[in-house]
Every structure is written in structure tokens, then in C-alpha cells.
A and B are shown apart, each in its own frame.
Chain A
């Protein structure tokens, strides 16, 4: 009797799919989770980043690997002993014609396969619109290939796919705010994130927190920057929340002569007129996940409505080295008044040092806000306002 019961239980057991909690997971989590759940699978997440994840990841990878990838390896190891049927590590290259993700995402599945033993089979669909000109049919193929691993009912797969795309869109709509809302936030009428704590009566600062999704939303990797800033009395907007049209305007500026500063809304020009201002063909920042970083930084450097910009980057991230350069040069070009601080994170960043830097940054912002200027000594000695002070 008990044996029959066990068999029954085995049959009903859902297939388990593991998601490492890192990198692309933070961009597409709603889409992926809905898809697999609707297919009838059980989604297993690795535990949130912690000290063990970090240490295992650091031991596992080469020294030159970027910090987020190191953590990702740690997450995979965390999943390895969770009795999984599949591990989901997509080979994602790009989703738009003129955009590319990070080249490391493409090779990640293969790297995991050959550096770790006893991993469950990896589901790693390849999708690249820019290089291989993939489109709707390729996506359909991927969806069915994955779907038939879990169910034999094609209608169920189609339903799962549609629902997952809808979930993704809904999540994006919720996350990204409109231009009016942003303006309201700039006038301090509403809050976008947690309320700042200013119990010692200091004025609330408005800061844009800029960085990759997988840095800002990972509390351990970013050393709890959001809570720390909240306690320092800072009202935040993150780069993910920024309206897309503002970001696209700034991207257009990047490929214009002298950043097209005399034109306030370059995206509204007719194409023929716009071409006069462009530098030339083939001049475009094509890293997809850098757009919001560069766009947000440039937008706030230009409109000067907030007190400061804090950019969090992790060590030796390739694409970020490009976007950092763009942001710095833009700041120098327009003689920006808004301070921009770039903080580097890696496996050895200490919590205390990080806290001190944040405090120093906030102090300088307050000085600037209350007195209207920063004492010359500080400006000279600390090198904070424009340069990388990590």
C-alpha cells in the first residue's frame, strides 16, 4: 500500500527548475517565473546572496571575472544540491536589432557546464536579434523546445508563453514611471521608494541611484546601499525607474556633435534634419543594459533638478567602463553642477569603508545644498565631485 502511494507521489512530483539569483534574473524574473510555473514546473530559487555564496563563487572563478559573475557561480553552486531536474541559464545575446547584452551572458551556460561537476542539465536557449537576426520564429521555437520538456500539451505552452510575456510587460509598466510622475517626485510631492529617515531634522536629499539591475537589487552585493541611503535621509530614484523616452533622448545626444546641447528635444526633429547633427554612421552605444545607466546620469547632469548622482559599478565590468567614460566626459563638457560619484564594488569592499564614503558623499551634498557651495579645501582635496573616488 505504501509503495503504491510512493509511486503515486513520484508521478505527481513536479519537475524542478533552478534559477540562479543573479545577472539576467533581475531583468526577466517575472517572465521566466510565470512561464515555468504555468508550464507546471516548480521554480527553485537560489538563496539570496550571502557570505557563503560570495566565498564559493570567488573560489570558483578566475580573478579577472567581474564581481557579479563570481556571485552567479556561487548561486549555481548553491542550487547544485537542491535536487533539480533542470537549471535555467539562457544564452541571451540581444533582443533588439541595434542592441547587445554582455558577451559573457552567451558563454555563461558553457562555462558552468565545464567548470562544475554534477550539475543538472542546463536549459540554455540562444537568442540574438542583432547578430543572427533572430525574431518571432526563433522565439516560438525556443518556447516550444522548452515547453515540451514539461508538458505535451501545446496549448498549455502557448498560454504559458503569452501569460509570461504579459507578466513581464506588467512588471515593466509598474517599475517604469511616467515623465509626469518623475516631475512630481522632483518637486517632492510624492515618494518613489522607501521614505527617507531624517529624524535629526536634516533636509532630505534627492539622489539618483544608477547601476545595473543586478547590483542595485542585490542587497548583499550592493552592501545594502538603499537602506544605508534611506537612513542618511536620502530620497531615491533608481535608473530602472526612469522613463524610457528621457533615456533615449540622452542616447541620441551621445551620437550628436557636441552632444547636441543647443537642441532641447532632439528626438522630435525630423530624420533629415537630425542627420545634420549626427556625428556619422556607426556611432552608437550598443550595450543594452548600459542605456539606462548612461541615460539617467546624463539626464540629471543636464537638468540639475536633484542634489546628486550615485553610480554603483562592480569591479572590471566591461560595458560599464564605456558608460562611465561617457558620463564623465558629458559632465566635463557641460560643466555640470550636479555632483556625480562613482563607487566601485568588489569581493573585498568592506562595509565600514562603504558607509564612510556614503556619509561623506551626503555631507558634501548637504553642504552644497545649504550653503550653495562646497568649501574649496574639500573640493580640492577630496576630488569627489567628478572623479572616481573609490
Chain B
């Protein structure tokens, strides 16, 4: 009897959970990771190599916790990658083996969608390829909606009049989203989501908030434990923000197959080409491109979060000052690891925002404040 588990990955954990649900794996055989805490990170960093990147440590910690709860079949990334991300599976296998656990690893190579499908099929309730594809389809549709909800939260929470209103609506939407199982219904509901937020959350239209984009390594950008609730902190300071990376990069199969659709990350990479000619692993090139793109759309600043010792983001970080200079776009680099303290984080964010405000005042020359709404903020 195999008990399936998978590492924690920010809000996307819900998504992985529903993959196995759709594959009709019995409920008791899926062991879902808890929201990670300090202890998870401690367990992870105790058993990982010292110089390994922080996402490795956190995911190892959450895996070990799950294995302790009885899991014996792990889904993790593997295959041939560019940076260290693709050896998470193999290295974690060696580490858990040494700790004395008998665990089977299924390493998923996200470069090969068909193999990914076959791996998932092998744990499903005797699904044929077509059924498995149907189940996966629900996932990427849901991923689309989840991304939209995240963007909406980060917008409305910054300018809401009554604190906590956005979170309430978001929770409602999440619950509803994961109770629907038909693709058609999800798609219909997807169209209603912005309207729900608009109706239920009252915003200060003339609040004149700063607009900040978040770039960086995908795991850190999506995981609140590592970025220390960066979005909420920014929102509390009266800033609206938006993350520029998404799991869609890996899961959006229709966009990959359709030659007429240009995926978001390809747009970023094209923008970054004059500065970094070739893809150098992770999300480095996208970080550069997003900085340029958002500047051209009139955003105020960027926050670049990445884990300590991440190789691609380090390359990006080295080039970012020249982009900053050429386009006049302020970028705040924040490097996180298992020892990052909250106070220092907060201080740096506050200082950054104060400086952005001063910069905006000097650039504006007394022009009137624009009225803000979701439509002016959204750029998809």
C-alpha cells in the first residue's frame, strides 16, 4: 500500500492536493503537507548540505514531516535541468535513505509533459491516458483561477477600506473553487471572480498607492514561509503589488501547444534578451524582463526576492543595477535563507517605500491623482 505525498509549495499545495483527488486516489492514501513552520525549516536545514538553496531545505523538511506521518511514496522534481532544482529528487532520496526511511521516489521532469502524465497515471485509479489528461486539465484551469485570485488579493488588500474584507472574500472563493469538479463550471466561475471582489470589497479609489512588482525565484516568490509574508507586508504599507512568476510556466499545456499564444514568461525573456542573451536557469532571465516590462507600464518599483546561493538569480542580481540605471527603475534585492529575521526585512521594505514615494513626487510635477481600479491595474 503506498501513501502518496509531495513537498509543500506555497498556495500551489492546494493544486497538488487536487491533482491526486482528481486522479481518484483514495483520500486516506494522500498525505498532504502541513503549512510549514520554523520547525519544518529546522529539520530540513539540519539534514541538507550546507550550501544548498533554501527551497531545498524547506521542501526536505516538509517531506520528512510527511514521511513521519506515514507516507512512503514521494513526488518530487527530477530529470535534467539547468540549475540545481532538478536534482532535488535524487539528492533528497539519498538523504532520506540514510535517515533510515524506506521511501519510493517518483521524480517528475517538467520538461516532458507526457512522462509527467504517465507518472501520475500510475498512481491513479486505473485511468487511461484520456481520463488522466482530463483530470490534469482541471488542474491547469484551476491554476489559472488561483493566479487570478492571488493577483486580486494583492490588489484589493492594498486599497481596501475595511481591513480583512479581502481575505474573507478570498477564502470564500478558494472554498468554492476547490469544491467544483467540472471544467465548464470552473471556467464560468472564473469569469465571476473579479466581479465578486469588486462588489464585496470597498476600495479607496483615490488612495494613490504605489505599484510594486515582485520578481525572483519561483519557490520563494510563492512561499509565504520564505518570503515572510512579503505581499501582506507591502499591502499593509498601503502598496499594491503583483507577482510576476507563476506555476503556469510548467502546467499550462494548451498555451504550450498553441503556436498563437505567447506565454507570459516568453514575453519576459524576449524583453530581457539585450541584457541576458540566453536562458541561464531558474527565473533569472524572467526577472530582468519583468523589470523592464513593468517599468514601461509605469510601475514604481520592484522587489527581487531570492534564496541564498541560488545561481541563476545571482546572475540576474549582478545585471539588475545596469537595468535599474538605464530605465530608472528602483529594485530592492532581498536575499532570504533559514535565518532571515523579520525586523530587518520590515525596515528595509519601509525604507524602500519611503524612497519610492519621494521619487514619485519629484517625477509627478503636480499632476492629478489617477483613479484606480482593477482594470487599470491588470495587464494580462
Q: Do A and B bind each other?
A: yes
A interface, CB within 8 angstroms of B:
61-62, 64-65, 91, 93, 98-100, 102-104, 106-111, 114-115, 124, 126, 128, 130-131, 254-255, 279-287, 316-322, 324-326, 329, 332-333, 388
B13 at the binding interface (Cβ < 8 Å): no
B190 at the binding interface (Cβ < 8 Å): no
Contacts of B93 in A (CB 8 A): 279, 283
- What is the 8 Å Cβ interface bit string for chain B, positions 260-286, against chain A (1 contact, 0 not)? 000000000000000111111110100
Are B319 and A324 in contact, with the CB atoms below 8 A?
A: no
Q: Given the known inter-chain contacts A279-B93, A284-B90, please indicate yes or no for A110 contacting B309, CB distance below 8 A.
A: no
- Nearest CB of A to B266, in Å: 14
Segment 307-327 of B: residues with Cβ below 8 Å from A: 308-309, 311-312, 314-319, 322
Are B277 and A110 in contact, with the CB atoms below 8 A?
A: yes
Q: Given the known inter-chain contacts A91-B277, A286-B81, A329-B98, please indicate yes or no for A324 contacting B49, CB distance below 8 A.
A: yes
Residue in A124, A279, A318 whose beta carbon sits within 8 Å of that of B51 in the complex: A318
B336 at the binding interface (Cβ < 8 Å): no
- Nearest CB of A to B12, in Å: 20
Contacts of A329 in B (CB 8 A): 94-95, 97-98
B64 at the binding interface (Cβ < 8 Å): no
- Nearest CB of B to A253, in Å: 11
In angstroms, Cα B95 to Cα A177, docked, is 33
Q: A107-B278, A281-B109, A286-B87 are in contact. List 17 more A-B contacts (CB 8 A).
A: A91-B278, A93-B82, A100-B81, A103-B311, A109-B277, A114-B318, A255-B90, A282-B109, A285-B90, A316-B309, A318-B53, A318-B311, A320-B51, A321-B309, A322-B52, A329-B94, A329-B95
In angstroms, Cα B79 to Cα A98, docked, is 9
B281's nearest neighbour on chain A, judged by CB, is A103
Q: Given the known inter-chain contacts A62-B317, A104-B311, A322-B84, please indicate yes or no for A282 contacting B78, CB distance below 8 A.
A: yes
In angstroms, Cα B279 to Cα A326, docked, is 28
Are A318 and B87 in contact, with the CB atoms below 8 A?
A: no
Are B52 and A126 in contact, with the CB atoms below 8 A?
A: no
Segment 73-119 of B: residues with Cβ below 8 Å from A: 78-84, 86-87, 89-91, 93-95, 97-98, 104-109, 115
Q: Given the known inter-chain contacts A283-B93, A321-B50, please indicate yes or no for A103 contacting B309, CB distance below 8 A.
A: no
Interface residues of A: mostly helix, strand, loop or mixed?
mixed
Q: Given the known inter-chain contacts A103-B280, A329-B98, please indicate yes or no for A282 contacting B89, CB distance below 8 A.
A: yes
Contacts of B322 in A (CB 8 A): 114-115
Contacts of A280 in B (CB 8 A): 104-107
B interface, CB within 8 angstroms of A:
48-53, 78-84, 86-87, 89-91, 93-95, 97-98, 104-109, 115, 275-282, 284, 308-309, 311-312, 314-319, 322, 335
Are B49 and A322 in contact, with the CB atoms below 8 A?
A: yes
Q: Given the known inter-chain contacts A114-B319, A114-B322, A281-B115, please indicate yes or no for A322 contacting B91, CB distance below 8 A.
A: yes
Residue in A109, A111, A283, A325 whose beta carbon sits within 8 Å of that of B105 in the complex: A283
Of B86, B89, B90, B97, most buried by chain A (CB within 10 Å of CB) is: B90
In angstroms, Cα B91 to Cα A99, docked, is 17
Contacts of B84 in A (CB 8 A): 318-319, 321-322
Are B315 and A111 in contact, with the CB atoms below 8 A?
A: yes
- Nearest CB of A to B256, in Å: 16
Are B81 and A107 in contact, with the CB atoms below 8 A?
A: no
Are A103 and B79 in contact, with the CB atoms below 8 A?
A: no
Of A91, A102, A126, A325, most buried by chain B (CB within 10 Å of CB) is: A325
Are B86 and A286 in contact, with the CB atoms below 8 A?
A: yes
Shortest Cβ-Cβ A-B pairs, 4 listed: A282-B78, A103-B281, A107-B315, A282-B107
Are B51 and A106 in contact, with the CB atoms below 8 A?
A: no
Contacts of A286 in B (CB 8 A): 80-81, 86-87
Contacts of B318 in A (CB 8 A): 61-62, 65, 107, 111, 114-115
Contacts of A109 in B (CB 8 A): 277
In angstroms, Cα B322 to Cα A102, docked, is 23
Q: Given the known inter-chain contacts A62-B318, A65-B314, A321-B51, please indicate yes or no for A326 contacting B276, CB distance below 8 A.
A: no
In angstroms, Cα B105 to Cα A255, docked, is 12
Are B98 and A106 in contact, with the CB atoms below 8 A?
A: no
Contacts of B315 in A (CB 8 A): 103-104, 106-108, 110-111
B52's nearest neighbour on chain A, judged by CB, is A321
In angstroms, Cα B97 to Cα A333, docked, is 10
Contacts of A388 in B (CB 8 A): 50
In angstroms, Cα B277 to Cα A108, docked, is 10
Q: List 22 A-B contacts (CB under 8 A).
A: A91-B277, A103-B281, A103-B315, A104-B314, A106-B280, A107-B312, A114-B319, A126-B278, A130-B80, A131-B82, A131-B279, A281-B109, A281-B115, A283-B89, A284-B79, A285-B90, A321-B50, A321-B309, A322-B87, A325-B48, A325-B91, A329-B95
- Nearest CB of A to B222, in Å: 21
Are B311 and A325 in contact, with the CB atoms below 8 A?
A: no
Contacts of A62 in B (CB 8 A): 314, 317-318
In angstroms, Cα B251 to Cα A339, docked, is 46
Residue in B81, B94, B335 whose beta carbon sits within 8 Å of that of A64 in the complex: B335
Contacts of A324 in B (CB 8 A): 49
In angstroms, Cα B48 to Cα A326, docked, is 11
In angstroms, Cα B106 to Cα A280, docked, is 7
In angstroms, Cα B259 to Cα A129, docked, is 23
- Nearest CB of A to B269, in Å: 13
In angstroms, Cα B272 to Cα A110, docked, is 11
In angstroms, Cα B105 to Cα A93, docked, is 28
Contacts of B51 in A (CB 8 A): 316-318, 320-321
Q: Given the known inter-chain contacts A321-B50, A321-B51, please indicate yes or no for A103 contacting B94, CB distance below 8 A.
A: no
A313's nearest neighbour on chain B, judged by CB, is B51
B116's nearest neighbour on chain A, judged by CB, is A282
- Nearest CB of B to A357, in Å: 18
Residue in B79, B91, B314 whose beta carbon sits within 8 Å of that of A282 in the complex: B79
Contacts of A104 in B (CB 8 A): 280, 311, 314-315
Contacts of B108 in A (CB 8 A): 282
In angstroms, Cα B89 to Cα A268, docked, is 26
Contacts of A103 in B (CB 8 A): 82-83, 280-282, 311-312, 315
Contacts of A283 in B (CB 8 A): 78, 89-90, 93, 105, 107
Are A110 and B319 in contact, with the CB atoms below 8 A?
A: yes
